[in-house]
Chain A
Amino acid sequence: MGRYRNVTILAAAIFLQFLGLAIQIKRSTENESSRLIRVWAVSVVTPFEKGIIRVQGGASGIWHNYFYLRGVRQENRELRDQIEQLRLEQVRLKQDAEQARRLQALLGFKEQFIGKTTAAQVIGSSGSEQSRLVYIDKGSDDGIKNEMAVITADGVVGKVLNVVDGSTSQVLLINDQQSGVGAILEQSRLQGVLKGKASGEVIIDKIMSDEEVKFGDRVLTSGGDRIFPKGLPVGTVAKVSKGPEFLQITVKPAAVLSHLEEVLVITKKAEHEESVSSGASVRAADILAQRLPSVPDKPQPVSPAPTVTGSQVKPQTASPLQSGTTGPVPPPKTQASATGTSVQPKPQLNPTGMPVKAQVPTATMAGPAKPTVVTSQESKPAAAKPSAPPVSKPAGNATQAPSNAPPDTSGDTPQ
């Protein structure tokens, strides 16, 4: 027996590990069955990682904040210019968002916003190319829970797989084989499941071979997985090849998954259904008036128009419904639907009959999870470009077209 002692011990060690593996695979909640071992291992390794990251961060801070300040003035100037551009863009987006919100209210559309995020530092990885996960320095003490979405400013990173302790969590990256993200292609609106491959590539599965997918199309979260809010950038289509049943779509992730440093964990998702009554200044009748086709505005006489007061955005009372007429409704030129809707707010007129610049809506969108509502290209206001002056101008400025509605001469209204 002594002769086979070593081999017997080897066989026993291997057998036990196979048994443990089989048990973990059999149980659906395999993470729970091996949780203790994982917590021990992580608790031993992560304190060193956190220490190094802190020292590294401190040294980097000293360097960047005190020594490496060359070119800061120039950079500051460029950033100020960029802020100006972004402000202009923001005004336009706010108007779009307000429009989308009104439509969602009408459709009873439930949407998710990013309610609250927690910033976290990536402190390490699994160390294996087969298991693509990272560790972050936030845990249960910071309100982190399993299945929370993790993002960066660039796009989706992954989800919290396991909260190890009060200050450490495991994040499963979107390029891991076990991951799965509900994704939608921005242009074609095709939905599929985004997952990782053994090679680290990210692919979209479950899109039929007869569909057409364009190279470079942006991939967004669809919200179908109930983890990621809808509309977060995931990446772009890098390669498309046809399989027997489904397309093989390779996606280039928007976030740089191999160089993650800081990430945001979405700790709270605000899900609500827009209600028409929630818009204090927008009445249902106004919304319907905007949606329904209306009689084209006649050129106003020079005499003062008594119905217009102040700078409140109000559609012209030109629709059959609002004016109380019951006659036949002329066919609309623009159609409203869930995905392609154009609402054309009527320009407000000043007492001289010229359009007045609309007041910028004060609606706020929480976080980047802006709902994706596609507005048809031809119905997009021509004046709503970033270059258009955004905010309040004197109401009597007759030369300025409204920022969110072109004059009626655009020909969009039914004739």
Chain B
Amino acid sequence: MTYTSREQIEVYRFSLPVAILVPLLAIFLQAFIPHVLPFFSTYFDLPLLVTIFFAMARRNPVTGLLTGAAIGLAQDALGSHPIGVYGIAKTFVGYGASSLGVKLDVESVGTRLLVTTGFYVVHQVLYFLVARGMVRLDLRWSWPHELGAALANAVLGVFLFALMDRLKQRA
């Protein structure tokens, strides 16, 4: 991980179809894949990975938090619980990832692995707090499960980010 000055940072943008379709595809796959692989939703969170990717590539905290909020709210809308739990968690993650993207070089594999692991844990902590504190869901926190899932998402994220790098356009 290298500390990068503001001048060295490249800011990317995405075409409108990509900015809309990629998050939608992630939400769709998150809803559809458990139909084939039931364990998928237990360990993986594709919308979160997309949120992190877009936020880090754009490096704009406002865009990052809005992207996170939109993706999170859409994810909430597919569930049965009140809308906003994923929204709040992903808003924070979007803001954090884009703020970090301003300060760090997040293009390397190692950085992406660490950042994704960290943000997954942050996301789960926020989700847990809001879901338990406000919605009163009966959730149990398990460090082994959360760390395992964080690592799994980070590994998947590395491949996914490499794939999505092709969609980036220099701003």
Q: Which residues of A contact B (CB under 8 A)?
A: 5-6, 9-10, 13-14, 17-18, 20-22, 24-25, 30, 34, 37-38, 40-42, 44-45, 48-49, 52, 122-131, 133-135, 161, 170, 172, 176-178, 197-199, 258-259
Contacts and interface: CB of A to CB of B under 8 A. Distances in A.
Contacts of B75: 127-128
Contact of B38 (A30, A37, A259): A259
Interface string B116-145: 000000000001001100110111100000
Contact of A45 (B31, B34, B61, B127): B31
Nearest to B24: A44
B17 interface: no
Interface of B is mostly: helix
B77 A37 contact: yes
A30 B74 CA distance: 16
Contacts of A22: 134
A45 B42 contact: no
Contact of A258 (B38, B69, B127): B38
Interface centre among A6, A41, A128 (most CB of B within 10 A): A128
Contacts of A17: 69, 73, 84, 87-88, 91
Interface of B: 24, 27-28, 30-35, 38, 41-42, 61-62, 65-66, 69, 73-75, 77-88, 91-92, 95, 99, 127, 130-131, 134-135, 137-140
Nearest to A12: B65
B31 A126 contact: yes
B65 A25 contact: no
B137 A177 contact: yes
Contacts, number: 139
A14 B88 contact: yes
A287 to B, nearest CB: 48
Given A6-B62, A37-B73, A130-B131, A24 B84 contact: yes
Contacts of A134: 35
Given A125-B34, A198-B138, A9 B65 contact: yes
B67 to A, nearest CB: 11
Contacts of B138: 177, 197-198
Contact of A18 (B35, B61, B88, B131): B88
A176 B88 CA distance: 22
A130 B78 CA distance: 12
Given A13-B65, A127-B30, A21 B82 contact: yes
A176 B80 contact: yes
A42 B77 contact: yes
Contact of B77 (A9, A34, A177, A178): A34
Contacts of A5: 62
A52 B66 CA distance: 30
A45 B28 contact: yes
A252 to B, nearest CB: 16
Contacts of B42: 129
A127 B82 CA distance: 15
Given A13-B91, A127-B30, A129-B41, A45 B78 contact: yes
Interface centre among A17, A22, A134 (most CB of B within 10 A): A17
Interface centre among B28, B84, B95 (most CB of A within 10 A): B84
Nearest to B142: A199
B77 A38 contact: yes
A17 B87 CA distance: 7
A288 B33 CA distance: 60
A137 to B, nearest CB: 12
B61 A48 contact: no
Contacts of B92: 10, 14
A28 to B, nearest CB: 12
Interface centre among A5, A18, A41 (most CB of B within 10 A): A41
A49 B81 contact: no
A130 B140 contact: no
A122 B80 contact: no
A124 B66 contact: no
19 contacts: A6-B95, A13-B69, A18-B84, A21-B134, A25-B134, A37-B83, A38-B83, A42-B77, A49-B35, A125-B31, A126-B79, A127-B31, A127-B79, A128-B78, A128-B79, A130-B79, A131-B80, A172-B80, A197-B138
